[in-house]
Amino acid sequence: MTSARARLPGARPSDARVVLDADAIRRAVRRMAHQILERHAGAAGLLLMGIHSRGVPLAHRLAADAADIERVDVPTGSLDVALYRDDYAQIGPRPLERTYFPVDAAGKTVILVDDVLYTGRTVRAAMEAVIDQGRPAAIELAVLVDRGHRELPIRADYVGKNLPTAADEVVRVHLSEHDGHDAVTIERAVQA
């Protein structure tokens, strides 16, 4: 979830601080993959769904780690939640990305994957989007960073890093697939 930027229009970031570097991200994703396999005693019935945009490469990294750890193939797809957001009337249309379910969601344990958990509104939209594709057995949530400030009763099942933040701070997740390098930074937004 990169809505931190959307929440602070016109904000000019200053003194960005790295809170997770490439190695730390790699270890955190690896640990989450272990936790997922441990909780489910393997990968049977799992479906990883990355939320656009940076949840998608994270979901594929979790799947690659799971394949490496237990030689299991976890189906991995991508989810665009723009049509399910609750701010269409306020913010307006967002560009739509491809939603792809590699297998039928019905009866699966769907693990939603996103980069930052913040207000929880993206996750609420994602749950509705998944349920419209077929009734899953369960929905779980894996995030690289939980920065707090929830506006809905939502929590993550797998967390890369809990990062206490102030509301006027901006958390950015950079992933090599999108940004050319891996890092999580936090910066205080200065109103322009």
Partner 1 sequence: MSVIDHLLDIRDLDAGAITSVLDTAEAFGDLASRPIKKVPTLRGRTVCNLFFEDSTRTRVSFEVAAKRLSADVLNFSAKGSSVSKGESLKDTALTLQALGVDAIVVRHHTSGAARQLSRWVDGKVLNAGDGRHQHPTQALLDLYTIREHFGHLDGLHVAVVGDVLHSRVARSLVQGLRTMSAGVTLVGPPTLLPMSAGSWDADVSHDLDPVLGKADVVYLLRVQRERMREQFIPSIREYARLWGMDRRRLETLADHAVIMHPGPMNRGIELTADVADAPNALIAQQVANGVAVRMSCLYLMLGGEHPIRR
Q: Which residues bind partner 1 (CB under 8 A)?
A: 80, 83-84, 88-93, 95-99, 128, 132-134
* 81, 51 Cβ separation under 8 angstroms: yes
Q: Which residue has the tokens 């000019």?
A: 12
Closer CB to partner 1, 97 or 187, in the complex: 97
* Distance of closest approach, residue 89 Cβ to partner 1, in angstroms: 5
Closer CB to partner 1, 73 or 132, in the complex: 132
Closer CB to partner 1, 91 or 137, in the complex: 91
Alpha-helical (H) ranges within the chain are: 3-7, 22-39, 55-70, 88-91, 121-131, 176-179
Closer CB to partner 1, 58 or 129, in the complex: 129
Exposed e or buried b for every residue in 163-180, given b needs 16+ CB within 10 A?
bebeeebbbbbbbeeeee
* 57, 179 Cβ separation under 8 angstroms: no
* Distance of closest approach, residue 134 Cβ to partner 1, in angstroms: 6
* Distance of closest approach, residue 127 Cβ to partner 1, in angstroms: 13
* Distance of closest approach, residue 132 Cβ to partner 1, in angstroms: 5
* Distance of closest approach, residue 112 Cβ to partner 1, in angstroms: 18
Both tokens assigned to 138: 């369960």
> What is the strand order of the sheet 183-191 is part of?
11-20, 183-191, 169-174
Both tokens assigned to 189: 């937004």
Strand, helix or coil for residue 116: strand
Closer CB to partner 1, 68 or 87, in the complex: 87
